Amino acid sequence: MTSSERGASIYRELARDIRNKIKNSVYPLGKKLPTEVDLAEEYGVTRVTVNRALAILRAEGWVRVHRGVGTIVRDIPPLIRDASARHSRSHRERGGARGAFAAELADRDYKMDTRNIIDRVRPPQNVADILGVSSAEVSTVMRARYMKIVPAPDGRSIPYQIAVSYIPLAIAEGTQIEDEDTGVGGISSRLADLGRAQASIEETVDVRPPEPEEMNFLEVTEDQRVYEILHVGEDDDGQPVKVTVFVIPTHLTKLRYRMRLED
């Protein structure tokens, strides 16, 4: 092994050890890590090695830098996004929740802080193709939701996801889908009330670098990654009734899919 290979091995091992200590609550969530000087002394390495290890952990989302304070351990553990369960009506409406995400946060005693942008728009071409509407004219209702998690009353609000939904104007026009408050169960329940419930769902997942607007809201850096989840819901007739694009930092969620095999 060359000296450069040994150096790489040392800072990666250090990153692995600090990561394990975070997992085991030696370094608690939301608390400050020891300084680089203290870590260097504890592990018997140089500050350069510590800095390289922390750079790995920052890219993975285990820690963040707070200017004037130091390096802080992530605020919350990753959430499980169970696509096999979260789209049922009983799941998204339990406890009077305004949708699946709100219900999932309530399970953890977290609150949600959401900014909504609602408009009638010309959809992107790929969305128009899926919904069978025109991209050259206003043919959809768009609901863009910028969602933050509030884990405690006095805690820091944590940007979690951007979700942009498109529903054909022919379905949504003049309904509660266009209101600021879509009611218990959110958009999906209002579609069900209109007789256009999502009977089948397809989700396509991509992992990519964040766009500048996403970096700004989600508080991620260009060396981190986000999930882009293209969600398509179809009614009983196989007609697409909703397209949602979710953008979520990969370090904040784990995706779970469960399938029942018939043969």
Task: Mention the CATH class of domain 3-73.
Answer: mainly alpha
Outline which parts of the chain fall under CATH 3.40.1410.10: 79-256
Outline which parts of the chain fall under CATH 1.10.10.10: 3-73
Q: What is the pLDDT of residue 2?
A: 42
Question: Residue 123, class by beta-carbon neighbours within 10 Å (0-12 exposed, 13-18 middle, 19+ buried)?
Answer: buried
Q: Which residues are CB-contacts of 142 (< 8 A; sequence separation ≥ 6)?
A: 117, 118, 119, 120, 121, 123, 164, 165, 166
Q: What is the pLDDT of residue 8?
A: 60
- What is d(CA 232, CA 222) in angstroms, rounded to the nearest whole number? 28
Q: Is the dihedral of CA 119, 121, 124, 129 positive or negative?
A: positive
Beta-carbon count within 10 A of 142 CB: 19
- Which residue positions in the chain have pLDDT lower than 70? 1-8, 263
- The pTM (predicted TM-score) of the whole model is 0.90
Q: Which residues are CB-contacts of 57 (< 8 A; sequence separation ≥ 6)?
A: 15, 18, 19, 63
The architecture of the domain spanning 79-256 is 3-Layer(aba) Sandwich (3.40)
Q: What is the pLDDT of residue 23?
A: 94
- What is d(CA 204, CA 162) in angstroms, rounded to the nearest whole number? 16
